[in-house]
Structure 1
Amino acid sequence: MDAYCDLEVDVNGEEVFMVDKKVLSSYSGSIKKMFSKSKGGKRNLKVIYHDFPGGAENFELITRFCYNNGNIDINPFNITDLNCAAYFMEMNKCVTGNKNLLEQTEKSLEGIKYWTWSELMAALKRCQDFFPVASSSGILEKCLDSLLGRVASSCETSPCPSVSSPDSSKFRASCDTRSSESLKSSFLRVTWWFEDLVQLDIHVIEMLVKSMVSRNLNHSIIGKFLFHYQKARLASTFSDEKIRMVETVVEMIYSLDLSTVSYKRLFGMLRVSLHVNIRKCCRNKLESMIGLQLDQATLDDLLVPSPVRARYLYDVNLVLRLLKSFLAKGVWCLPLSRLKKVASLVDLYIAEVAPDPHLKPSKFLALIMAMPDSARDSFDGIYHSIDLYLEVHSGLSEEEKTRVCSVLDYEKLSSEALNHLAANTKFPSKSAVGALNFQQRRLKNLLQRTNQSNSFTNSPIFHETERTEGKDESCEQIVLYAGNLNFSTETERIRAHLQGMQWRVLELEKICRKMQIRMTKMMKSRLSNQSNANSVPRLCS
């Protein structure tokens, strides 16, 4: 072995170098500490590196620096390698001045603002190759600061700050007078960097986004970039990397202003997360963000297939969790318009899942009861969904059917729905009787209001109504009596009675309509007579 090559260096198992220990020790503090206590006559010294930044190729670059009396050309394409290797080998503790490699690289970084975008991206890509050291040495932070400055500058000079969010109402309001070509050009001016940054690893993106948020960069632009990043990287990553990436993106979006985030893209991310099995806490955050703006969703958004091992068709539990998030702050905190919009959406969803033969009554009821009654103006849609559910689930017990039908609010059912329910053999007899009772009470109230407004109480119409009411009371007594019977043995006979009474209700409705028409004509006639009397001139006395 040559006298001037007394140190054997194994670099990451890639290659073995024979170097002069004295030369390397004069520039590397770590090498100097290793052999400071060894005797000069000892031969066959060996150092093994397992995680040298940049591997054998970069170690060769360091040896050239040492053998060249501390001189080397530093440029944007090798500055990351040299800086990280110098930090790793403590090449700032042995010499000073221009011989100190770490200081040389840090001084070169002062000119980073003059680098081209390609040079900056090249340095960043090398940083992520040996992320821990680049992060500790500070070069990664300086590169990210420079990149962020350029991105922020392009966003601030954009003529339309919200251009990155086409779904935003602010964007439409402020830019609606421009041509589509101008808007497209503006959009590209603030998103030109999207595709280049897709090449960076998720941990680098995480650092970058945190800096963006701290500098108050437009949240809609950040959100749009994160969705773009996830979509672009998803196909090229492995299973474990997909989980890490999706979880990190969700956490970053969760830190943004939710009003700037597209709910459509959140639903897309939700569907992705169901396939990669992210952590429960992360999934809860994603569902919470979706739930808070559930009034913007559509039926197609909610029709998420059930988990693989589940027998039911759609993921009903997911929708129940989204509804829970939507109502988390309390019904009183939400505008009635938003509540009604979500209730309408839920009613459509219920009608869609009702034919599922594997949907349990408890889940079906939970969907109906998730929204407060005040959010529904009509229960007709719920009635038709229950009708469909009972048709598919004909094997339910009478008790289960009664429990399912107990959620119906008769006051919010139309007359047509009540009449249909009273004759519907799929419903329990108690529900049919209850519907008919309520229909009769509603009709009697209508007749009473009509009579109170009618000043011609001696008219034949009024007496006809009185006679009709008397018969109606007897019908109601029959219905109330039927409610106490044993429906398991007399169901068919009771239904025959109910059908007869239903026809009677229809007759009463016809009479009411006739009364209202006649009253209207009589009132118009009276007003016309009064008008004519007032127009006749007074005779001379």
Structure 2
Amino acid sequence: MDATCDLQVDVNGEEIFFVHKNIISSYCGKIRKLFDKSKGVTTNLKVILHGFPGGPGSFELVSRFCYNNGKIVINPYNAHRLLCAAYYLEMNEMISGSHNLLEQTKKSIEEIKFWSWPELLSALRNSIDLVPMSSSSQVLQKCLDSIVARLVFTSETSPSCPSSSSPESSGLRLSTDSKSTESLRSGLLRSTWWFEDLVNILTPNLVKLLVKSIILHKFDHGVTSRFLFYYQKSRFFNANSDEKREIIETIIDSLSLLDQTSVSCKSLFWILRVALNLNVKKIHRNILERMIGSQLDQATLDSLLVPSPHGSNYLYDVNLVLQFVKHFLTTKCGPGVPISELKKAARLIDSYVAEVAPDPRLKPCKFLALVKALPESARESYDDIYHAIDIYLQVHTGLSDEEKTSIFNSLDYTKLSSESCNHLTQNDKCPPRFATLALKAQQFKLENLFRGMDVQKRFILPPHELVATDEGMHEQVVIYAEQVVPYEGKEDIVIENEKMKAHLEGMQWRVVELEKVCRKMQTQMTKILKSKLSRQTSAKSLPRLCS
């Protein structure tokens, strides 16, 4: 061994350096303390460094600093390595009036905002290699903040395409005008130029830190969501199942931090299907369900038809849809929420119920839970639900009377059309008392219709008569109306149903006749008004007589 090199330094078991003890220890407080504890030992000196940040490459930089009297060129490409090494070796003392390495690297890193984009990327790579050192984590966060600040500055100084609300909208609805099309395309490229630079550097953990910094700096959430989907697709190519699961869970966590209007419902369903195949943790699945549920009114029937989990007895994952509805009601049924969104979701769920109704393995309790998942105020009509019930009963022929009663109790008979009521009264799978309810509901609706039209019901002889005068139209409408005796349980229910059915059909026929009368009245009124206007015009055109 050279007499001047009296110390061996083993760095992480990877490489051994032969250095001068006095030179190294004069700058490295940690090594100096080791020799202070072992006084008297002068030969075969060896120091083993475990977990040295940056490995042999970083120690070589430190050696250069020590042998060059505490001087070294610090730049974005080595600042992170030198900083972490300085922390590890406790190089924080002043030697011969020179600044210590720790202070010099800190001062250099403070200038990070002036570094170029390639320098920032290099610093980011170096800091990733040095994690989990706490000192590296601090610099790493500064590096990410500087990158986001650069993105914000670029987006503000360069015109870009309008912010999109969803990742797949990057296709853009381009105008047929060639200049407009080219402008939008170039705008899209300007907003996503940084994707490729970061996608191969960032680990899943760093993606989360990046998104948090983006939110802090108020960078465009729509562009951010596009980056997250781009990252997921790019990193999936060479990833194994565990790596894919980590990536998709990172994407879910990151998307949940963004404004939900920046992520489309279609994209969330796509992530959901990937997540289900990878069997992600329940906490991440719940996050995804909540995000989809908040946008349920924007979903499509095809998206809802998610196959049931492996080993389930039913065809589609009904429990998943019920969770969507639960989250939708939690987020959408507060004050000030448009009723139109609630009704749109109801139409979607009604279509879903009709789609899953033919599944022979769908239990009555699950079917009923779907039907009753939304409040009655969400539906203007129960025709689709009745149609789904009819399909369900045709497939599930072994239902008990109690189960049928529960299903038919879920209908609001006042919101059934006359066609559905007629079908229900002839449906042999429907318990008789529900047919009675349907008939009474239709009778009530027709009576309200008559009252709304201010029709005078009298037991006089036909026909009705129209009388036209200059002052308007007078009508006497004659309608035969029988006395309807409400059912009180004293007569046989079948006979009562037949009577009410006949009465309903008669009233419906009379409504048709009434509509004809109204149309005839409108025609007559139009003629009278035209005649009156014609006479007034003729009178005004006559010359005045001389007095």
TM range (shorter): 0.7 to 0.9
Change (3 A) 1:519 1:46: closer
Residue 514 of structure 1 aligns to a residue in which SS?
A: helix
Change (3 A) 1:512 1:120: closer
Moved more, 388-397 or 16-25: 16-25
Moved more, 440-449 or 88-97: 440-449
Show the counterpart of 1:352.
Answer: 355
Report the CA distance between 1:516 and its aligned residue: 4.3
Show the counterpart of 1:392.
Answer: 395
Would you say the 8 A contact 2:461–2:478 is kept in 1? no
Residue 17 of structure 1 aligns to a residue in which SS?
A: strand
Moved more, 367-376 or 242-251: 242-251
Moved more, 233-242 or 81-90: 233-242
Asked if 1:415 corresponds to 2:428, the answer is: no
- The correspondence of residues 46-61 of structure 1 with structure 2, limited to 5 A, is 46-61=46-61
- The correspondence of residues 123-272 of structure 1 with structure 2, limited to 5 A, is 123-133=123-133, 135-136=135-136, 138-160=138-160, 162-163=162-163, 165=165, 179-199=180-200, 200-272=202-274
Moved more, 449-458 or 28-37: 449-458
Change (3 A) 1:241 1:524: closer
Report the CA distance between 1:214 and its aligned residue: 1.7
Report sequence identity in percent.
49
Change (3 A) 1:389 1:135: farther
Higher helix share: 1
- The correspondence of residues 296-375 of structure 1 with structure 2, limited to 5 A, is 296-329=298-331, 330=333, 332-375=335-378
Would you say the 8 A contact 2:161–2:187 is kept in 1? no
Residue 482 of structure 2 aligns to a residue in which SS?
A: helix
Would you say the 8 A contact 1:306–1:314 is kept in 2? yes
Change (3 A) 1:45 1:526: closer
Show the counterpart of 1:19.
Answer: 19
Tell me the number of residue pairs that the alignment of Structure 1 and Structure 2 aligns: 521
Change (3 A) 1:397 1:217: same
Moved more, 351-360 or 330-339: 330-339
Distance in 2, Cα, partners of 1:421 & 1:353 = 21
Would you say the 8 A contact 1:82–1:105 is kept in 2? yes
Would you say the 8 A contact 2:413–2:441 is kept in 1? yes
Change (3 A) 1:478 1:423: farther
Asked if 1:469 corresponds to 2:482, the answer is: yes
Look up the equivalent residue of 2:491 and give its one-letter code: Y
Distance in 2, Cα, partners of 1:184 & 1:364 = 48
Look up the equivalent residue of 1:336 and give its one-letter code: I
Distance in 2, Cα, partners of 1:149 & 1:508 = 73
Q: Deviation string for 1:133-180 (max 9, x for gaps)? A: 2644743244334322321111112324743546899x999x999702
Would you say the 8 A contact 2:300–2:348 is kept in 1? yes
Would you say the 8 A contact 1:164–1:187 is kept in 2? no
Change (3 A) 1:434 1:507: same
Change (3 A) 1:45 1:453: farther
Residue 327 of structure 1 aligns to a residue in which SS?
A: helix
Moved more, 417-426 or 522-531: 522-531
Look up the equivalent residue of 1:263 and give its one-letter code: C
Distance in 1, Cα, partners of 2:134 & 2:94 = 21
Distance in 1, Cα, partners of 2:132 & 2:140 = 10
Residue 36 of structure 2 aligns to a residue in which SS?
A: coil
Report the CA distance between 1:403 and its aligned residue: 0.6
Moved more, 417-426 or 45-54: 45-54
Gap runs ≥5 in structure 1: 484-493, 536-541
Distance in 2, Cα, partners of 1:455 & 1:172 = 65
Gap runs ≥5 in structure 2: 465-475, 536-547
Residue 8 of structure 2 aligns to a residue in which SS?
A: strand
State TM-score, norm by structure 2: 0.82
Asked if 1:376 corresponds to 2:376, the answer is: no
Show the counterpart of 1:290.
Answer: 292
RMSD: 3.9
Asked if 1:433 corresponds to 2:436, the answer is: yes
Look up the equivalent residue of 2:426 and give its one-letter code: A
Would you say the 8 A contact 2:455–2:477 is kept in 1? no
State TM-score, norm by structure 1: 0.83
Show the counterpart of 1:513.
Answer: 512
Would you say the 8 A contact 2:87–2:135 is kept in 1? no
Moved more, 106-115 or 289-298: 106-115
Moved more, 372-381 or 146-155: 146-155
Distance in 2, Cα, partners of 1:525 & 1:63 = 108
Distance in 2, Cα, partners of 1:81 & 1:408 = 71
Moved more, 498-507 or 126-135: 498-507
Distance in 2, Cα, partners of 1:203 & 1:463 = 79
Show the counterpart of 1:481.
Answer: 491
Would you say the 8 A contact 1:91–1:102 is kept in 2? yes
Moved more, 341-350 or 40-49: 40-49
Report the CA distance between 1:25 and its aligned residue: 0.7
Show the counterpart of 1:538.
Answer: none
Asked if 1:66 corresponds to 2:60, the answer is: no
Report the CA distance between 1:191 and its aligned residue: 1.7
Would you say the 8 A contact 2:161–2:188 is kept in 1? no
